[in-house]
Structures are given as structure tokens and as C-alpha cells.
């Protein structure tokens, strides 16, 4: 490692978010281009730095800084340069010159130790002298904090967040209870806090550690879709995580319950534990659904007359269940319509829209994802939005939920009817936010397929609402003649009914190519996407989606993405790349957002690169293409559905992954021209009917299964779904039996 020192002549680029900086350093008469993470730095400052010279493919030789410190300039010339650089607000070149003339080499000491003496300089009042000192001191404090935190392996990005959150309190927090960081600082989880605690010498049986471990395991549970965990299971998992005895967990469960950090309840004779937030999300959803579920006075005869009139005008004929669905939606405040593919959900929605238009009622349509909303718009001819956009997402997180919306109980949606499609994708947090924004008297119509996989986020909202038997539900079961012509639809229903499908029968829209080793399967998948399917389904390879049950393994998401990237978007001198972890992001790559980010900004630009729309938020499962990689600015730009462009700092790339292949879970609510399913082997827990049904119903024009036909039959026979611990159903029943309605928050 080499050492350099000198004055920062010019800051070429500085990323406020992650501190990445490109600067020009004057060192012994030479100009050196330096790069590195430097969150608090100013032109004119004198720094000492350690690092290595590297050769950048585009920008030539650079000095890559590993560690640096800001020093007092070692000569009067440098000192004057620093003071006059603008680093300290209120001091320009002329005033810097007067300070140096007055105090000479003692100038730095005067500012640090006797700032009141600055008032001896013409143009500096006592107040201004104090302001100069405070600026100087604040910057010094922050640098000291950075250096202190770096000893604990804390990155600069997190160090800035910690300093901004705690100020000088951070020293006590790190030494006494670093687990507090996991509660207060976004991005710092239990494991990082635990590592810091270990470095700080905090014992493995610390009460802070055990309490934080319990909360962490509950959070991990939400990542698997649970809103609670059985107490015994939680204790076992926490003890395993911490390497401690299960008996130590129980006491802290009770303490956390007293502190209202968790809720301990009983369900079917079993103790269960919630993170408090999720208990109240379920309880309040139940209360709000009860409030909305009021009868609407309508005359049955005129309603039937209007329905018949719509049928005549549209040239359609509703079956009995569709007609009932329309009638019940008109009569009730909350209504659920469920059914598989080809059962006429869209026709029913269109009839409802027409009916409410006849009544001169305002209607809002929404769906959980951009793709689902776009599909709803195309199917109805009526504008649909994402739920997030309808609720007017802002970039500021809420205290109780992970997102904040402008539309809420104080500023509700002004409409008469709200129809939500793809309800199986809606998790408990989003449902809570939606219900808060709906006024009593507004009709809420929920449409979805109960047999789809539940939401990626916690809860099983649609299924719990249906299974509570507290709301009007119409299940559409008749498959219409046009739909019966599709092998995708007929096979989907056979799968759902537990009936075997003919794997030897090949139709243009559904076929199985039998292969029995991973290499052969991968080769066929590549050939299908690149060559065979695009002309048949009239779609680009980019739009054809590989769906697989697993992340790991030879045919898991991680391995397949490497293979597919190589063939579908190979390296090129015209395409810039960014190495990340064990893989590569390349311009032109298909990528997916893998966590909700409610604060990141996006914009839509015209063909002339003029912004025409902007907003905030990108969500788990959103897919797009890498449009640009800028290694100089350390940024990567992705274009998502509807032309939304988002620029990520390289430090945010953990939010993205390649998406040539994705898990079936991540495909919920999306629809693709063609779906390719590599099925060879996998954990029995994952290979179930529900998963196969969801995968098949994602395709519009073609399903291609590649692999072992026996696995397909095994999935059809396996009815065991992954257990999801949630209790909205129980909360609804509890609330419906009670006479009071209030708020838990």
C-alpha cells in the first residue's frame, strides 16, 4: 500500500448517498486523480491517504484510496488555500488571507481552541467567529466518528447514517447496546449488529442480544410470509441462531411482551408470537373490513334489468354465477370474486364497470403490480393503476408500515367503487394501507384466484377473507367454450383438480420435452428462448420467461441466470459491465428488483430524453432492463415497465438480480407470452400442485415443460402447501363477533 498527501484541488464527482468520490489531488506539484469512499470531504482540504495505483480501462491511472485522514495543512500556503476554498462557509479567499496574515501558522489552533479571537480580524464578528468554529468542530466530529466506526467494520455508508441518527451518543451505543442499530438504522440488521457487538466485546448471553435475536427471527418469519410464529418454534430458532439454551429465551419473550415489542396470543390451544406491528395490521384490517361491509339498498328487479340491458349491448351472456357476482357486488360493501383461468372474471369485471357507469358512480381500478394493472387496463378499456400509485405513495416511510401514502384515513379516496384485481398478491401491509384510504359507503370488490400462491409479503389475505365466511364470495367455476380451446386453461384446471395431464400430447400452446440431466435441460431451455419460441408466440426472447421452483441447484435461478445471460446477452465491447458479488451485470441484461424500496425516485422520459412523468417506489418482483452502466459515476440505470427509469448507486445493487430465470413465487401477478419450466428434481416441499398451477397460469400463449415428466405428476399429486402462519381469518371472525369497532394503533 502506498501513501500520498496533498491539497484537494477539485472534486470531480461525489455521490451523497454512498460517499463515492472522484477528486483531483495536488501532491508535490503533481496532479493525481483519486477515487474512493469519502463522505465528508471538501475542496481545499489537506489529506493524507493510503491506497494503491490502479489502471482504469476508460479513465487511465487512478489512486484508489483505502483510508484517509484530513490533516492540518503543513505550510501557510496550503492553510490559506484550505480556508479560502469554501470548505468553511463564510470564509472566502480575501477573508482567508486576512486570517493567515493575522495568525500565520497558528491559524488552525486559533480556530480550534480560541475561536473568539477570530473577531480580531476585520470582517469577522463574534457571531461569525462562533459559526466558523461550529462548522469546523462538526466536520471534525464526523471524521472522528467515521474513524471510530471503521474499527468495528462499519462501512462508510452506514457510518454516515449512524452519525446522523445519534451524533455523539453513538460511542455509548456501540459500546453498550449495538443491537439498537438494527432497530433504528435502515439496512443494519441483526447479523451486522451482532458482528459489531462481538468486536465491542459484548457477551453472547447479553439480554440485548437475546431480545434482538427474537425480533430478528420474527422478521425472518415475515420474509417467509408469516405474520406470527408458534412460540416453541420461535424459541428453538432463536436459540439455534444465538448458540444459547432455549430456556434463556422464555424470560425475554415475556419482557418483550410487557414492553409491547411483541404480542403473545393463543390460537387453537397453542401459544403464538407476533411482532406487534403485524398483530395490529391483521386486527385493524379485520375492523376496517367490518366497517366497509354494509348492505347497499337496491331493488333486485331493476338491477337484473340493467344487467340484461348490458348483456344485449355488449353481445355477451353471463352464466348464473357471473350474474350472481354482479348482483352481490351491487348489494354489498365488500365482495369477493374468485375463479381460475377462463372462468369469466374479466367479463364479470367489465359488466360491473358498465353497471356502475349506468348508476353514475365513480370507479377506481387497481392491481398490485404494474404488469397486472396494465393487463387490467387492456382487458377493461378502463384505466387501472397500481395500488401504490392509487394511494399516492410518497418517499417517506411511515412509523407503522414500510411505506407512506398520501391517501389515508385523513385524506381518503374520493370514489364510489374500488375494484382490485390479482388480490392473491396483496400482502397484509398493503391491504392495511388500502383499507385506511377507503371511506365507509365505498364498495370494495376483490378479484383473484384463491388457488394461486399467496403474496410474496406476509399474510394470506385473499384466502383468509374467503375462509372467514364473513363476506359475500362468488366462486366462478364454469370454463367458457373459448377458454376450453386453450390447452393452458384446460391443463391448469386439471392440475388444480389433481388430475394427471397427458405429457406425451404436444399442442402449439402446451408441450413437454423430456430430458433427464441438467445440462440437456439447460441446453433445450436456451434453444427454446433464443430460437424456437419467439416466432411462434410473436415475442422477443426478452419477454419469454423461465420459471423454476428453486433458487439453488443446477436448474435453480442462480445457475440458470448465468447460463442464459451468456447466450442471450453475451459480452461485447459495446456493452459496459459491472462485477457484483459472484456475477456480472451487463448493459442489456434483464433484471428484477428483489426488495421493496419506497423512497427511490423514478422518471419516464420522452424519446427526446425529456422527463414526462416522475414518482417514487420500486417493488419486489418489478422487472426491467439495464440501459446504462456508468463506472465513472458508479451508477447503473434500469428501465422498468411503463418506461420508469431508476438510477442505482453501485452500493444499491444488492436490490437487483438477473431475471432471465426467476422463481415461480416471484412470477405472481405477471403474465408472459410464453413460459419455460425446467423441472428435473427438487425439494418435495417446493414441488407441489399449487406451485405448478401458478406457473402454468402465468403463460398467455405457450407453456413449455423441459425435464422429467414424473416430476410434473409428482407435483400434481402433492397437495401440501408450504405452511404460512397468519391469522387474519381469526381476527375477522373475532371482530365480527364483537360489537365494538376501534383502532389498535
Residue 400: per-residue pLDDT: 44
What is the arithmetic mean of pLDDT over 61-66?
91
Nearest CA among 99, 110, 42, 92 for reference residue 70 = 42
Q: What's the whole-number mean pLDDT along residues 401-408?
A: 80
Cell of 165: 441518527
- Residue 1: pLDDT band (50, 70, 90) is confident
Q: Do the beta carbons of residue 647 and residue 655 sit within 8 Å?
A: no
| Rounded mean pLDDT, 467-471 | 95
263 contact partners, CB below 8 Å, separation of at least 6 = 257, 273, 274, 275, 276, 279
Give 124-193 as a DSSP string.
--HHHHHHHHHHHHHHHHHHHHHHHHHTTT--HHHHHHHHHHHGGGHHHHHHH-TTHHHHHSTT--HHHH
**Residue 336's pLDDT is what?**
97
What is the Cα–Cα distance from 673 to 520, expressed in whole angstroms? 24
Residue 617 to residues 130, 393, 614, Cα–Cα distance (Å): 42, 7, 10
Whether residue 479 contacts residue 322, with contact meaning beta carbons closer than 8 Å, is answered with: no
SS3 469: coil
DSSP state of 92: -
Residue 742 has a pLDDT of 46
Cell numbers at 210, concatenated: 437475546
pLDDT of residue 515: 94
Closest-CA residue to 643 (of 671, 610, 670, 594): 610
Mean pLDDT lowest for which of 72-81, 160-169, 606-615, 702-711? 72-81
Q: Cα torsion for 453, 458, 463, 464, to the nearest 10°?
A: 170
The three-class DSSP label of residue 424 is helix
Cβ neighbours of residue 268 under 8 Å, at least 6 residues apart?
A: none
Contacts of 60 (CB under 8 A, 6+ apart): 33
C-alpha span between 6 and 24 (Å, rounded): 10
Is the pLDDT reported for residue 720 higher than 60? Answer: yes
Confidence tier at 429 by pLDDT (50, 70, 90): very high
The pLDDT value recorded for residue 56 is 79
- The residue among 683, 697, 691, 678 whose CA lies nearest residue 719 is 691
Element (H, E) at 612: strand 611-618
DSSP state of 508: T
Give the whole-angstrom CA distance, residue 196 versus residue 185.
Answer: 14
Residue 103 CA: distances (Å) to CA of 107, 114, 606: 5, 11, 57
How far is Cα 34 from Cα 41, in angstroms, rounded to an integer?
Answer: 13
* Phi, psi of 364, deg, nearest 5: -120, 135
Tens digit of each residue's pLDDT (9 = 90 or more) over 282-305: 999 999 999 999 887 666 668 888
Burial of 298-333, coded b for 16+ CB within 10 Å and e otherwise, reads eeeeebeebbeebbeeeeeebbebbbbbbbbbbbbb
The sheet carrying 661-663 orders its strands as 510-514, 699-707, 672-679, 545-548, 661-663
Please give the grid coordinates belonging to residue 399.
Answer: 412509523
- The rounded distance, in Å, linking the Cα atoms of 44 and 80 is 9
Q: Which triple of cell numbers denotes residue 313?
A: 349491448
Comparison of pLDDT for 716 and 642, the residue scoring more: 716
Measure the CA–CA gap between 590 and 576, rounded to whole angstroms.
14
Instruction: Tell me the pLDDT tens digit for each residue of 241-269.
Output: 999 888 889 889 999 999 999 999 999 89
Mean pLDDT of all residues in 608-628: 89
Q: Which residue has the cell 462562533?
A: 130
pLDDT score recorded for residue 743: 43
At 648 the pLDDT is: 94
User: Is 309:359 a contact under the CB 8 Å cutoff?
Assistant: no
pLDDT at 738 over 50: yes
Which pLDDT does position 580 carry in this prediction?
86
Q: Is 295 exposed, middle or buried (0-12, 13-18, 19+ CB in 10 A)?
A: exposed
> What letter would DSSP give residue 426?
-
As a whole number, mean pLDDT of residues 545-563 equals: 94
Neighbouring CB atoms inside 10 A of 28's CB total 8
The confidence band for 85, taking pLDDT boundaries of 50, 70 and 90, is: low
Average pLDDT, the chain: 88
pLDDT, tens only, 168-225: 888 898 888 989 888 888 778 888 889 888 888 888 888 999 999 999 999 999 988 9
What integer is the mean pLDDT of 602-630? 89
DSSP, collapsed to helix, strand or coil, labels residue 339 as strand
Percentage of the chain lying above the pLDDT 90 cut: 54
Answer whether residue 483 shows pLDDT above 80. Answer: no
> Of 644, 569, 66, nearest to 393 (Cα)?
644
Residues with Cβ < 8 Å from 476, sequence gap 6 or more? 321, 322, 325, 337, 338, 339, 340, 343, 344, 345, 348
Residue 416, exposed/middle/buried by CB under 10 A (0-12, 13-18, 19+)?
middle
In order of 234, 243, 248, 738, the CA distances from 240 in angstroms are: 10, 5, 12, 40
Q: Comparing 205 with 745, which gets the higher pLDDT?
A: 205
Q: How many CB atoms lie within 10 A of CB 89?
A: 9
Confidence of residue 86 (pLDDT cuts 50, 70, 90): low
Looking at 66-80, 298-312, 413-427, 467-481, which range is the least confident one?
Answer: 66-80
Dihedral, CA of residue 727, residue 731, residue 737 and residue 739, to nearest 10: 170
pLDDT digits (tens, 9 = 90+) for 561-595: 999 999 999 999 999 999 887 789 999 999 999 88
* Coil vs helix vs strand at 88: coil
Look up the pTM and report it. 0.79
Give the cell for residue 240.
439455534
Amino acid at each position: 500500500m502506498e501513501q500520498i498527501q496533498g491539497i484537494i484541488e477539485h472534486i470531480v464527482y461525489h455521490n451523497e448517498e454512498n460517499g463515492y468520490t472522484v477528486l483531483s489531488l495536488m501532491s508535490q506539484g503533481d496532479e493525481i486523480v483519486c477515487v474512493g469512499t469519502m463522505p465528508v470531504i471538501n475542496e481545499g482540504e489537506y489529506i493524507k491517504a493510503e491506497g494503491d495505483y490502479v489502471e482504469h480501462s476508460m479513465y487511465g491511472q487512478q489512486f484508489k484510496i483505502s483510508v484517509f485522514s484530513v490533516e492540518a495543512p503543513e505550510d501557510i500556503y496550503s492553510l490559506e488555500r484550505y480556508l479560502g476554498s469554501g470548505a468553511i462557509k463564510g470564509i472566502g479567499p480575501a477573508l482567508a488571507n486576512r486570517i493567515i496574515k493575522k495568525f500565520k501558522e497558528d491559524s488552525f489552533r486559533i480556530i480550534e481552541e480560541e475561536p473568539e479571537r477570530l473577531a480580531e480580524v476585520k470582517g469577522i464578528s463574534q457571531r461569525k467567529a462562533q459559526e466558523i468554529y461550529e462548522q469546523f468542530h462538526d466536520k471534525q466530529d464526523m471524521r472522528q466518528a467515521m474513524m471510530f466506526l471503521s474499527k468495528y467494520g462499519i462501512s462508510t455508508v452506514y457510518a454516515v447514517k449512524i452519525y446522523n441518527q445519534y451524533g455523539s451518543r453513538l460511542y455509548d451505543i456501540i459500546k453498550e447496546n449495538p443491537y439498537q442499530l438494527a432497530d433504528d438504522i435502515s439496512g443494519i440488521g441483526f447479523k451486522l449488529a451482532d458482528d459489531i457487538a462481538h468486536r465491542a466485546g459484548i457477551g453472547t448471553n447479553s439480554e440485548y442480544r437475546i431480545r434482538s435475536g427474537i425480533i430478528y427471527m420474527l422478521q425472518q418469519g415475515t420474509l417467509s410470509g408469516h405474520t406470527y410464529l408458534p412460540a416453541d418454534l420461535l424459541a428453538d430458532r432463536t436459540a439455534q441462531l444465538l448458540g444459547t439454551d432455549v430456556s434463556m429465551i422464555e424470560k425475554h419473550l415475556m419482557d418483550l411482551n410487557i414492553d409491547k415489542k411483541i404480542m403473545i396470543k393463543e390460537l387453537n390451544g397453542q401459544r403464538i408470537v407476533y411482532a406487534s406491528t403485524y398483530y395490529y395490521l391483521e386486527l385493524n384490517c379485520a375492523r376496517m373490513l367490518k366497517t366497509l361491509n354494509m348492505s347497499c339498498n337496491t331493488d333486485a328487479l331493476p338491477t337484473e334489468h340493467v344487467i340484461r340491458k348490458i348483456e344485449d349491448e355488449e353481445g355477451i351472456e353471463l352464466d348464473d354465477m357471473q350474474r350472481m357476482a354482479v348482483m352481490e357486488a351491487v348489494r354489498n360493501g365488500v365482495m369477493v370474486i374468485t375463479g381460475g383461468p377462463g372462468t369469466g372474471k374479466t367479463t364479470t369485471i367489465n359488466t360491473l364497470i358498465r353497471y356502475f357507469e349506468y348508476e353514475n358512480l365513480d370507479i377506481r381500478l387497481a392491481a398490485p403490480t404494474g404488469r397486472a394493472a396494465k393487463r387490467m387496463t387492456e382487458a377493461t378499456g378502463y384505466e387501472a393503476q397500481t395500488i401504490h400509485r392509487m394511494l399516492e405513495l410518497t418517499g417517506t416511510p411511515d412509523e407503522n408500515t414500510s411505506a407512506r401514502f398520501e391517501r389515508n384515513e385523513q385524506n381518503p379516496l374520493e370514489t364510489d367503487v374500488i375494484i382490485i384485481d390479482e388480490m392473491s398478491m396483496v400482502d397484509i401491509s398493503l391491504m392495511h394501507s388500502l383499507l385506511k384510504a377507503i371511506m365507509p359507503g365505498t364498495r370494495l370488490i376483490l378479484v383473484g384466484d384463491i388457488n394461486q400462491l399467496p403474496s410474496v409479503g406476509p399474510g394470506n389475505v385473499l384466502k383468509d377473507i374467503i375462509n372467514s365466511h364473513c363476506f359475500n364470495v362468488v366462486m366462478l367455476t364454469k370454463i367458457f367454450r373459448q377458454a376450453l380451446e386453450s390447452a393452458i386453461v384446460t391443463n391448469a384446471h386439471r392440475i388444480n383438480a389433481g388430475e394427471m395431464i397427458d405429457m406425451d400430447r404436444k399442442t402449439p400452446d402446451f408441450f413437454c420435452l423430456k430430458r433427464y440431466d441438467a445440462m440437456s435441460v439447460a441446453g433445450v431451455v436456451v434453444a427454446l428462448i433464443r430460437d424456437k419460441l419467439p416466432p411462434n408466440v410473436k415475442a422477443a426472447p426478452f419477454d419469454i420467461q423461465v420459471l423454476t421452483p428453486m433458487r439453488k441447484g443446477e436448474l435453480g435461478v442462480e445457475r440458470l441466470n448465468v447460463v442464459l445471460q451468456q447466450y442471450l446477452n453475451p459480452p461485447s465491447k459495446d456493452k459496459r459491465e459491472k462485477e457484483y458479488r459472484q456475477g456480472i451485470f451487463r448493459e442489456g441484461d434483464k433484471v428484477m428488483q428483489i426488495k421493496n424500496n419506497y423512497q427511490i425516485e423514478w422518471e419516464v422520459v420522452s424519446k427526446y430524453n425529456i422527463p414526462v412523468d416522475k414518482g417514487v417506489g420500486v417493488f419486489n418482483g418489478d422487472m426491467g432492463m439495464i440501459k446504462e452502466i456508468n463506472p465513472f459515476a458508479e451508477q447503473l440505470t434500469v428501465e422498468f415497465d411503463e418506461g420508469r427509469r431508476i438510477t442505482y448507486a453501485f452500493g444499491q445493487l444488492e436490490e437487483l438480480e438477473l431475471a432471465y430465470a426467476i422463481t415461480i413465487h416471484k412470477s405472481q401477478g405477471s403474465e408472459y407470452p410464453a413460459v419455460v419450466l425446467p423441472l428435473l428434481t427438487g425439494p418435495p416441499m417446493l414441488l407441489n400442485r399449487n406451485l405448478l398451477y401458478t406457473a402454468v397460469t402465468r403463460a398467455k400463449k405457450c407453456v413449455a415443460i423441459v425435464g422429467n415428466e414424473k416430476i410434473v405428476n409428482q407435483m400434481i399429486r402433492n397437495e401440501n402447501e408450504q405452511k404460512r402462519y397468519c391469522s387474519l381469518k381469526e381476527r375477522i371472525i373475532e371482530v365480527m363477533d364483537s360489537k365494538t369497532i376501534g383502532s389498535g394503533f
